[in-house]
Amino acid sequence: MAQIIEKLGYLAGGSRFRRIYEKMQISGDKVYKEAGLGFKSSWFPVYYVLSKSQHAQTVMEITDQIAFSHITVKNIINELEKEKLILVVPNPTDKRSKCISLSEKGISLLNQLEPIWFSFSIAIKDVLNAGHPDILNILKRIDIEINSSPLNERVRNLNENKVLILDYKPSLKKYFYELAGHWLSGLLRGKLEDEDIFTLNNPDIAYLQEGGFLFYAQYCTEIVGCVALKRLDEDTFEFAKLFIDPKYRNLGIATKLIDRCISRCKENEAKELWLQTTMSMPEAHKLYYKLGFGDRDAPPQMLVLNRTEKIMCIEL
């Protein structure tokens, strides 16, 4: 079976997620059993919500908080009620629903469960980080993508072009100046700084040879965006020369390029990612804030450009 899964490639994506989930659940149940606790891994999300709630919850309220299906939450509630870990009573304000809270038995169990959850957190982090150090953000982005465009819609729209983020290769070098160079020259009315002239014409030397990276956005067969990830020192990077062809904006390409920068920083165990910008780009500032960047003073290792009016940073 494992060989079949390997051969299926992306087609087995859902099967792999399910297999990983089932393995984690089975192992989790063993941990609870070895600790002498009558608890199941599948109960955790619902039980945790109830343990942190100041008042009784309805099924709908629990569903909204953990994004599980209504039927899944109801099944877990039935199992918890059978074990006398929760109290289920009629909702005084809505006869169609029930109010759910932890019972005395459920509350007393919490003190035994919390140390196990702490150990679980450490063990799960080790497992997930073996896949990628930015795995939580990767899973978040997958979740967002599925919510914004479900698979059934994607299957219907297979002919739509997709955006790919590419690492630098020699054949892409020329696009760095064609994209960022022409834009920046226009923005500065041809008055490029010495740093701009060198980096735009020699991005491989300016960034790659100093331990940095270059990324390009490809839409269909066109290269439509670029960004440089400049290494400032052992623990910090700065992204620069982010540019998207105006014809291809509002497609989330800038976000994809910045996300690639953040992921690459985390792969290299960087602690901070910086950027420099001007006050003439308010829409870009909104995106930076949305992604978690905040205003900061320049670090000593940053070469601040003459035109820079705003410096931002995100801690990784």
72-109 residue pLDDT tens: 999 999 999 999 999 999 999 888 889 999 999 999 99
pLDDT at 160 over 60: no
The pLDDT confidence band at residue 229, using thresholds 50, 70 and 90, is very high
**Please, which pLDDT band fits residue 156 given cuts at 50, 70 and 90?**
confident
Half-sphere exposure (Cβ direction) of 290: Cα atoms closer than 13 Å: 11
pLDDT recorded at residue 102: 96
Identify the residue with better confidence: 312 or 250: 312
CA distances in angstroms from 240 to 36, 57, 182, 200, 228, listed in the order given: 55, 48, 15, 11, 5
Distance between the two ends of the chain, CA-based, in angstroms? 38
- Tell me which of 3.30.540.10, 3.40.630.30, 3.40.140.10, 3.20.20.140 is the CATH number of domain 159-315: 3.40.630.30
137 pLDDT exceeds 70? yes
Of 277, 274, 261, 172, nearest to 212 (Cα)?
A: 261
Are 113 and 120 spatial neighbours (Cβ–Cβ below 8 Å)?
no
The number of helix segments (H) and strand segments (E) in the chain equals 14, 9
pLDDT of 158 reads 63
Distance CA 180, CA 300 (A): 26
pLDDT 10s digits, 107-130: 999 999 999 999 999 999 999 999
Q: Is residue 37 scored above 90 in pLDDT?
A: yes
Note the pLDDT of residue 161: 57
DSSP-assigned beta bridge partners for residue 275: 312
CB count in 10 Å sphere of residue 41: 17
Question: What's the token pair of residue 170?
Answer: 């020699």
Q: Please name the residues in contact with 67: beta carbons below 8 A apart, sequence gap of 6 or more.
A: none
The residue ranges of every structural domain in the chain are 2-127, 159-315
Class for the domain spanning 2-127: mainly alpha
How far apart are the C-alpha atoms of 86 and 244, rounded to whole Å?
54
Residue with tokens 């909702």: 91
Count of residues making up the chain: 316
CA atoms within 13 A on the CB side of 49: 20
Give the whole-angstrom CA distance, residue 201 versus residue 187.
Answer: 17
The pTM assigned to this predicted structure is: 0.63
- As a whole number, mean pLDDT of residues 35-53 equals 95
